[in-house]
Amino acid sequence: MARVKICPRCGRHNPPSSSICLSDECSWDLTGIRAENLREESPVPAPETGASPDSGGQKPEPAVSRNSGPEVSPAPEPRPAPGSSLAPEIPPGKIYVRICPGCGTENRAVAKVCTACRQDIRMVPKTQADRKTGTGTADSPRPAVPENTLIAVLKSPDGTELLRIDSDHPVHVIGREHTLMEYLAGRDYTSRRHAELVVSGKRLVIRDFGKPNGTFINNVRMAAESAETLKDGDRVSLGGIWEEDWKSSLAGCFTVSYPGRS
């Protein structure tokens, strides 16, 4: 007998260790689903076709015995197709979801990547959503992917453009081995993976990764592993205060600009 986790949404048989449905079009949360023993139907012996010489050419009646062999297990009932009236229902009410900041798709709260655009959404906060139907499908059609919109521009202290952040690329890890790595080369106070910038609506949120040298906004140090929304014109320095002689500083510095907004 094989042990499987049967997805209540699409009916797929998944390995017992799976935490989500392996179907690319489903990705349903299986953390609360118990693995089941899947019985294989025992073969039914084929009937004898020969007739004995003394039977006059007639097929002899098989002898009936209570102990004639192992009991044949009944075939498992077929699982209903997804979306049919017999499909297992999910109770209506509030559910937690992760809404992809890139394409707006609602994902399960345990999802690590968006099922539509495959973007990493592990850092996206969970929100509540209404589920008015119990069919296991979304209440509304998947929203269309929004057009690419420029959100912010990062600039060096002398006004040179360093990075344009748009709605198609809403998450950037900043550090000497990540985004801005060329600009931050030689800035030894900046860590290889120092902070993260995430688009939130029409603004940028910066999250400090708790490195020893810290992250500063307008020369005020952020609390370790905290997050703050950046305003237009904010001066960010990674690893130390903003120095006037920024070219020789060992801290990486940039300003935030929101085009068309103040």
The residue-averaged pLDDT of 104-109 equals 79
Question: Residue 98: which pLDDT band, with cuts at 50, 70 and 90?
Answer: confident
Q: Can you list the domains of the chain with their CATH numbers?
A: 88-145 (no CATH), 150-257 (2.60.200.20)
pLDDT tens-digit readout, 202-256: 999 999 999 999 999 999 999 999 999 999 999 999 999 998 888 889 999 999 9
Measured CA distances, 28 to 10, 101, 236, 242 (Å): 9, 20, 40, 47
Q: How many residues does the chain have?
A: 262
The residue-averaged pLDDT of 55-76 equals 50
Per the prediction, the chain carries an average pLDDT of 76
The residue-averaged pLDDT of 49-68 equals 49
What beta strand segments (E) does 100-249 contain?
A: 106-108, 127-131, 150-155, 161-166, 171-174, 195-200, 203-208, 215-217, 220-221, 227-230, 235-238
Cα(227)–Cα(1) distance, rounded to whole angstroms? 51
The residue-averaged pLDDT of 103-127 equals 78
Low-confidence winner among 45-59, 95-109, 241-255 (lowest mean pLDDT): 45-59
Question: Residue 91: which pLDDT band, with cuts at 50, 70 and 90?
Answer: very low
- Is pLDDT above 60 for 72? no
Q: Which two tokens stand for residue 66?
A: 């209570």
Virtual CA dihedral for 152, 156, 160, 163, nearest 10 degrees? Answer: -40
